[in-house]
Amino acid sequence: MSLKVALAQINFVVGHIAANVDNIIAAAEYARDQLHADIVVFPELTITGYPAEDLLLRADFIETANNAVYEVAERVEGIAMVIGFPEQAEGVLYNSAVVLYQGVVLACYRKQALPNYGVFDEQRYFTAGHKPCVFEFNGVFMGLSICEDVWRPGIIETYKQSGAELMLTLNASPFNAEKIHQRETIIGDQVKAAALPLVYVNQVGGQDELIFDGASFVLNSHGEVVFRAAEFKEQISVVEYDGTNPLLTTCAPHYQPISSDYQALVLGIKDYVRKNGFQGALLGLSGGIDSALVLALAVDALGADKVEVVLMPSQYTQDMSNEDAVLEADALGVQYHVIPIAPAVQAFTGMLAEVFAGTTKDTTEENIQARCRGVILMAMSNKKGKLLLTTGNKSEMSVGYATLYGDMAGGFAPIKDVPKLLVYALARYRNSLAEVIPERVITRPPSAELAPDQVDADSLPPYENLDPILERYVELDQSAGDIIAAGFKREEVVRAISLVDRNEYKRRQSPPGIRITSRAFGRDRRYPITSGYRGV
Amino acid sequence: MSLKVALAQINFVVGHIAANVDNIIAAAEYARDQLHADIVVFPELTITGYPAEDLLLRADFIETANNAVYEVAERVEGIAMVIGFPEQAEGVLYNSAVVLYQGVVLACYRKQALPNYGVFDEQRYFTAGHKPCVFEFNGVFMGLSICEDVWRPGIIETYKQSGAELMLTLNASPFNAEKIHQRETIIGDQVKAAALPLVYVNQVGGQDELIFDGASFVLNSHGEVVFRAAEFKEQISVVEYDGTNPLLTTCAPHYQPISSDYQALVLGIKDYVRKNGFQGALLGLSGGIDSALVLALAVDALGADKVEVVLMPSQYTQDMSNEDAVLEADALGVQYHVIPIAPAVQAFTGMLAEVFAGTTKDTTEENIQARCRGVILMAMSNKKGKLLLTTGNKSEMSVGYATLYGDMAGGFAPIKDVPKLLVYALARYRNSLAEVIPERVITRPPSAELAPDQVDADSLPPYENLDPILERYVELDQSAGDIIAAGFKREEVVRAISLVDRNEYKRRQSPPGIRITSRAFGRDRRYPITSGYRGV
């Protein structure tokens, strides 16, 4: 007996229930009419988008979401649809999946494994279900599961014992570099152990800090990947089964270091701008590597006509920085403005002369320069309705090597979770497609150019040492002792860690950025500001 | 038989395990030597402070915390101590309470009810315990419980059945205006139903957004309060029992509207400054009610010598604003500076003339003024090591009536969770003690003074209508329909709610502030920025 299962890897807007319903209906009709599918599977919490956060605490929101399920059921016939929604029942909320066919609910499943770690807070909203859900469709017994369910040992096995012949899994699994390997390996092992084939549908798109990469896949009963959808794109695909045996189809390539990261960042910018209704984006271009990369990402995400840049030189800006910035703008064809900051810096210096009399120059004067740039950029963002992109990287964000309300100003920080060494790798990758960043921007020593002849290496360990120390401390929770024991210099470890500890207050006021590592600052790493803990 | 139980209502520093250990030991020795107590009960997670957030994910932190328990046990003899700590066992973490006596662990209890709503994320860190813990001390069978345990029906009853004669409860229960009534009423009802007397010890102090008010109490077996410790102060007290019958002692007065809120705000500022090591605080004084109140709070928290203010008039600042600001500074005896912002505003206007050519004036120009003030204040904060206090109130924060990086700049926002009408009430309360805010600051129409003859009422519904609408929408999750049905004007409801919805991005970058209502912005209300949800 033949069965065609469609995978609807769609980009939803969190909270926009009406738009999501239209999206679901269009996808179901496409799967039915163009792909001749019998059943179409959508991502987790399809109706609301994921994660809807505290919108899930609103009674009006939940009521609208529950009504929307009936609307979908009534508006599409001729294909079974598996959609996710926050199910209000018995005075509590479940993270549920429902099977709709010919206006009728065939089955409803309540997620059993509710993740409450990392970026996930599902136990804040949902009550866990306690039993599997198997339904028969087209002569096949299908089991429903949702995301975390199939990562935990036991649930797939329970389904096997309940008579399921094919698992359908709805997911909202955010991207990071290791994630796609983990998904296919861990879930593949469980599928193999239970000999129960599986369809895995992931959402795609950017939502504040999170990127969902799609890369939906189909496993046969040996746990082998027989189909994989593209990364970072919407795609509605179909897999044909002979009984429950998937016939070999196509596999899109999966995660490639650097190039996948690049695509993740492009999608993150594109979706933040689009979903929040900005007219485009703007950024300050310094001639340094960070802003050069953010410019390339922004242009690749939005098109050159939607991006503009501002050069804001000071007395400490080297000529080559200005030259390189202009070269970058020209190479990508974006409009640029040049606004020297001297008049504002001089004004503030004069205004503060009396209160600062008798004090010595310190980072205060450097911060004033950065904040004058922040005022200019925010004024342009306000006037033009364009999103200001912040250009700081993860290494800076970790150690606080950035000025609050200065270079940290902006609505979105695309490379906030990109360590400096990866910034270089992404720049080289982009240049390998077409050179848009002058070579010397990549090779010259990085500098904030806020004081004479300043370079980052004056204040920070070299990035070749700093980045791995930060990864161990921030992402892997290693102690200073562990990191020193691994061969890093004690003084560099002490310096890096104490800077990370002291700068939580800055990070708390930073704009959101795109998570691409296994632990980003933001909802992923929740530290107190007031803290007597010292990592060293 | 006589028993003396001490309640150690102490102010701990999150993460500072060594300091907390010293604090515990000093308190235990005081309870033993001065109060002649047999047993002393500390707040929840005594060793680490509460909430330690993601520090609890660090192996080094947990190891240090577990070792600290043994240190406390070894260093104090002659009194039993009940302390809280994150217990590492069987590969997971428990929120535990341990009874130490003569260097030995008498009992260890694992919290059963782990709150994961509102400001609480305990299921992110802890595994729930599953059984009561009763131990015998001085001939009395005592039961251990931790915070949320005694809010839920059933657990106290289980203890009664397990033979407990007296409940000891360790707590970290944050303040809000309704909280103390809830604690005493809800827990009192359960105590009464089980006829099991209870000792409730709460921590006191400020921790980022949270204020713990103390107000520890003792209930007899009828659920009646027979002892209550002071609010907002450290206090080590003792209650004597005849068997398990508490002998009548003293009750500090509990929550008084306005005056308790005022004390909460004072403690919040004091602890943020002290625990983060600032030299003092500074703020911009506009002549308006918000900055006048924050100044009074700061002086009451830190003393006049630790606070300084800056007046930053513009062409739109009325003379009476400057006059009143000076009166406020003089009344409280703080140093003030006057720095007119015109030079910086003119500099930016000139610098932006070319890019803004052909555009019309809008809020951009207002924001530039606010941001010039932000640059001045941050420069002074950087130079002097003083915490910049942000003066925005909750009504403004709700509707986004504030400039990001302008008047929103700062490290701490004391009245961020204080609605405008409560700002007035607090100002009047403070003046009732001694007049520090000129009467016309309270009576004149509020204005941002960023444009000619501007008043808040040009852009916003009157606060008498706005504040209750905001409370219903933000704190109570009521829908627009609910609020209109309650009698509020449709156009005002629509205006207020759409502003709340649109301004999440600003709030995300705002400094932390002190939570005093049942739902504050920050960790208490977690909304997506990118959201298609519209409350109207």
pLDDT per position as a tens digit, A68-97: 999 999 999 999 999 999 999 999 999 999
Cα–Cα distance between B1 and B391 in angstroms, integer?
55
Structure tokens at B385: 């090591």
- CATH code, B2-249: 3.60.110.10
- In chain A, which residue's Cα lies nearest the Cα of B14? A531
pTM of the model: 0.97
Q: Indicate the pLDDT class of residue B248, thresholds 50, 70 and 90.
A: confident
CB contact under 8 A, B479 and A60: yes
- DSSP, residue by residue, A343-357: HHHHHHHHHHTTTTT
Structure tokens at A203: 């959402």
Q: Give catalytic status of residue A111 as yes or no.
A: yes
- DSSP, residue by residue, B306-361: GEEEEE---TT--HHHHHHHHHHHHHHT-EEEE--SHHHHHHHHHHHTTTTTTPPP
Proportion of chain A above pLDDT 70, given as a percent: 100
Asked if pLDDT for residue A262 goes beyond 70, the answer is: yes
- In chain A, which residue's Cα lies nearest the Cα of B510? A509
Structure tokens at A482: 């562990």
Q: What is the per-residue pLDDT for A367?
A: 97
Q: What is the per-residue pLDDT for B536?
A: 81
As a whole number, mean pLDDT of residues A30-40 equals 98
- In chain B, which residue's Cα lies nearest the Cα of A12? B532
Cα–Cα distance between B217 and A202 in angstroms, integer?
51
Q: Indicate the pLDDT class of residue B532, thresholds 50, 70 and 90.
A: very high
Q: In this structure, are residues A63 and A189 in contact, taking their beta carbons and an 8 Å threshold?
A: no
Asked if pLDDT for residue A519 goes beyond 90, the answer is: yes
* Fold (CATH) for B259-456: Rossmann fold (3.40.50)
Structure tokens at A501: 């500890």
CB atoms within 10 A of CB A487: 7
Proportion of chain B above pLDDT 70, given as a percent: 100
Q: Give catalytic status of residue B328 as yes or no.
A: no
Q: What is the per-residue pLDDT for A89?
A: 96
Interval B355-394: pLDDT, tens = 999 999 999 999 999 999 999 999 999 999 999 999 999 9
Top-confidence residue, B300 or B2 = B300
Proportion of chain A above pLDDT 90, given as a percent: 94
As a whole number, mean pLDDT of residues B78-82 equals 98
Cα–Cα distance between B284 and B235 in angstroms, integer?
35
Place of tokens 């000093």: B26
CB contact under 8 A, A533 and B16: yes
Cα–Cα distance between A376 and A388 in angstroms, integer?
11
Cβ neighbours of residue A39 under 8 Å, at least 6 residues apart? A3, A4, A5, A6, A79, A80, A81, A82, A137, A138, A142
Q: Give catalytic status of residue B44 as yes or no.
A: yes
- CB-CB neighbors (< 8 A) of B53 in chain A: 526-528
Structure tokens at A304: 């050159």
Average of per-residue pLDDT values in chain B: 96
Side chain identity at A341, as an amino acid letter?
I
Place of tokens 């302390």: B83
Q: Under the phi-then-psi rule, with left for phi > 0, alpha for psi from -120 to 50, and beta for the rest, what region is B195?
A: left
Lowest mean pLDDT among A135-149, A228-242, B245-259, B303-317: B245-259
Q: What is the per-residue pLDDT for B1?
A: 61
Q: What is the per-residue pLDDT for B475?
A: 97
Q: Indicate the pLDDT class of residue B41, thresholds 50, 70 and 90.
A: very high
Cα–Cα distance between B532 and A277 in angstroms, integer?
10
Cα–Cα distance between B167 and B144 in angstroms, integer?
6
Closest CA to A346 of B153, B76, B346: B346
Task: Return the axis-axis angle of helices A59-75 and A17-33, rounded to nearest 10°.
Answer: 20
CB contact under 8 A, A351 and B367: no
Q: What is the per-residue pLDDT for B254?
A: 87
Q: What is the per-residue pLDDT for A536?
A: 81
Cα–Cα distance between B292 and B282 in angstroms, integer?
12
CB contact under 8 A, B55 and A528: yes
Structure tokens at B464: 């008498």
CB contact under 8 A, B533 and A16: yes
Q: How far is CA B408 from CA A352, B509, B522, in A?
A: 20, 9, 15
As a whole number, mean pLDDT of residues B52-70 equals 97
Q: Of the listed B4, B87, B108, B111, which one is catalytic?
A: B111
Torsion, Cα A126 A127 A128 A134, to 10 degrees, reads -90
Interval A47-66: pLDDT, tens = 999 999 999 999 999 999 99
Portions of chain B given CATH number 3.60.110.10 = 2-249
Q: What is the per-residue pLDDT for A244?
A: 87
Distance from the Cα of B198 to chain A's closest Cα (Å) equals 29
Portions of chain B given CATH number 3.40.50.620 = 259-456
Cα–Cα distance between B100 and B87 in angstroms, integer?
14
Strands (E), A163-260: 166-171, 198-202, 204-207, 210-213, 217-219, 225-228, 235-242, 245-246
Asked if pLDDT for residue A1 goes beyond 80, the answer is: no
Helix (H) or strand (E) holding B89, with range, is strand B80-89
Interval A180-204: pLDDT, tens = 899 999 999 999 999 999 999 999 9
Residue A382 is nearest to which of B57, B123, B364, comparing CB atoms? B364
Q: In this structure, are residues B440 and B320 in contact, taking their beta carbons and an 8 Å threshold?
A: yes
Residue of B405, B475, B500, B521 to mutate when probing chain A, most A C-beta within 10 A: B405
Structure tokens at B416: 């961020």
Distance from the Cα of B207 to chain A's closest Cα (Å) equals 6
- In chain A, which residue's Cα lies nearest the Cα of B344? A347
